[in-house]
């Protein structure tokens, strides 16, 4: 059995909340109270290889063009591009990136009973005003030496980007932070729509919506157009911001994203908004675009 290399990381750098060993609480005692092994102080998981980072970037670009491509077909595309990889690695990278092929699936399995799944509400209503429906989703963002995840909250009627957050993990906390920031800045919506990802079906997130009196709508499994407004935003954001820059780190990504969100909301004209900006549409709720 091959042992993983262990890198010695100073305690304070690794776990800032730990105190220096004392007569009352030794280092082992502190770790024991937290149910952590001592090796966790010194082990740092290996980062993804340069090859994997390049593969993930290519997968992301192909996926944004054709989100219906599954693991097997993506593997075939990468082989055609000259990559010597197997299908297991492609499947693993899909999992890390948090993506899955979009297509209509048969109902072969029951949903996770630990989480409530809510019905899709948007096919029975006319969306004609700001703050009627918000949409939220998470996407993978490639960088030079790694990757991040971005969650965004968008107003369905106006396409106005209400808030976003960036994280290096697919956790629920940064989703809640982004949504609370949107509520604080813009009030609350009548309905929030999302996919059935674990962050959005989590008890913490759904209870937040219920506490604010927000009705919950979730995409049907494999239905590509249920969350179409935010999918369109992801496409614009990646092609007009992410892919044209060599993003070095999280600070660089945040600065570029801030600039792009300002451009997207206040300067970018949308054909579907009769060539008005999302900010205009959002702030002028009675505005109705022409039929042309």
Average pLDDT, the chain: 82
Residue 291 pLDDT exceeds 50: no
Higher pLDDT pick, 133 / 229: 133
**Mean pLDDT value of segment 156-172:** 94
Least confident of 81-90, 93-102, 136-145, 255-264: 93-102
pLDDT at 107: 39
Residue 133 pLDDT exceeds 90: yes
- Whether residue 162 contacts residue 134, with contact meaning beta carbons closer than 8 Å, is answered with yes
Higher pLDDT pick, 116 / 226: 116
At the second CATH level, the architecture of 122-283 is 2-Layer Sandwich (3.30)
User: Residue 65's CB: how many other CB atoms inside 10 A?
Assistant: 9
> Would you kindly state where each structural domain of the chain is located, as residue ranges?
11-42, 50-97, 122-283
In percent, how much of the chain has pLDDT > 70?
75
Distance, in Å, from the CA atom of 14 to the CA atom of 170, rounded to the nearest integer, reads 20
pLDDT at 67: 83
Residue 130 pLDDT exceeds 50: yes
pLDDT in tens, 22-39: 556 676 666 666 555 554
Residue 247 pLDDT exceeds 90: yes
pLDDT in tens, 66-76: 888 889 999 99
Residue 17 pLDDT exceeds 50: no
Spatial neighbors of 214 by CB under 8 A, at least 6 apart, are 188, 189, 190, 191, 192
Short-list 99, 255, 229, 94, CA closest to 166:
255
Residue 128 pLDDT exceeds 80: yes
**Mean pLDDT value of segment 80-97:** 92
Beta bridge partners of 138: 151
Higher pLDDT pick, 235 / 1: 235
pLDDT at 242: 95
pLDDT at 108: 33
pLDDT in tens, 252-270: 999 999 999 999 999 999 9
- Whether residue 98 contacts residue 156, with contact meaning beta carbons closer than 8 Å, is answered with no
pLDDT in tens, 179-233: 999 999 999 999 999 988 889 999 999 999 999 999 999 987 545 556 788 889 9
pLDDT at 99: 83
pTM: 0.74
Residue 8 pLDDT exceeds 90: no
- Whether residue 101 contacts residue 117, with contact meaning beta carbons closer than 8 Å, is answered with no
**Mean pLDDT value of segment 272-291:** 77
pLDDT at 226: 64
Report CA-CA distances (Å) from 9 to 6, 39, 61.
9, 10, 36
Give the three-class secondary structure for 169: coil
């Amino acid at each position: 059995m091959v042992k993983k290399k262990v890198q010695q990381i100073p305690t304070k750098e690794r776990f800032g909340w730990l105190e220096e060993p004392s007569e009352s609480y030794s280092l082992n005692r502190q770790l024991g109270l937290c149910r952590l092994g001592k090796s966790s102080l010194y082990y740092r998981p290996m980062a993804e290889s340069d090859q994997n980072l390049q593969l993930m970037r290519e997968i992301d670009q192909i996926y944004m063009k054709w989100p219906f491509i599954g693991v097997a077909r993506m593997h075939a595309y990468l082989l055609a591009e000259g990559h010597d990889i197997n299908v297991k690695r492609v499947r693993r990278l899909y999992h890390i990136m948090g993506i899955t092929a979009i297509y209509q699936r048969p109902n072969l399995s029951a949903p996770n009973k630990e989480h409530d799944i809510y019905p899709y509400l948007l096919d029975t209503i006319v969306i004609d005003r700001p703050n009627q429906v918000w949409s939220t989703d998470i996407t993978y963002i490639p960088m030079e030496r790694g990757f991040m995840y971005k969650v965004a909250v968008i107003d369905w009627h106006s396409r106005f980007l209400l808030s976003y957050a960036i994280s290096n993990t697919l956790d629920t906390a940064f989703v809640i932070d982004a949504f609370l920031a949107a509520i604080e800045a813009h009030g609350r919506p009548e309905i929030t729509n999302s996919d059935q990802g674990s962050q959005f079906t989590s008890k913490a997130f759904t209870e937040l919506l219920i506490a604010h009196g927000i009705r919950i709508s979730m995409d049907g499994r494999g239905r590509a157009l249920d969350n179409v407004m935010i999918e369109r935003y992801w496409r614009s954001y990646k092609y007009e911001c992410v892919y044209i820059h060599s993003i070095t780190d999280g600070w660089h990504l945040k600065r570029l994203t801030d600039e792009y969100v300002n451009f997207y909301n206040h300067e970018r004209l949308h054909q579907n908004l009769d060539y008005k900006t999302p900010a205009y549409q959002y702030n002028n709720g009675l505005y109705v675009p022409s039929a042309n």
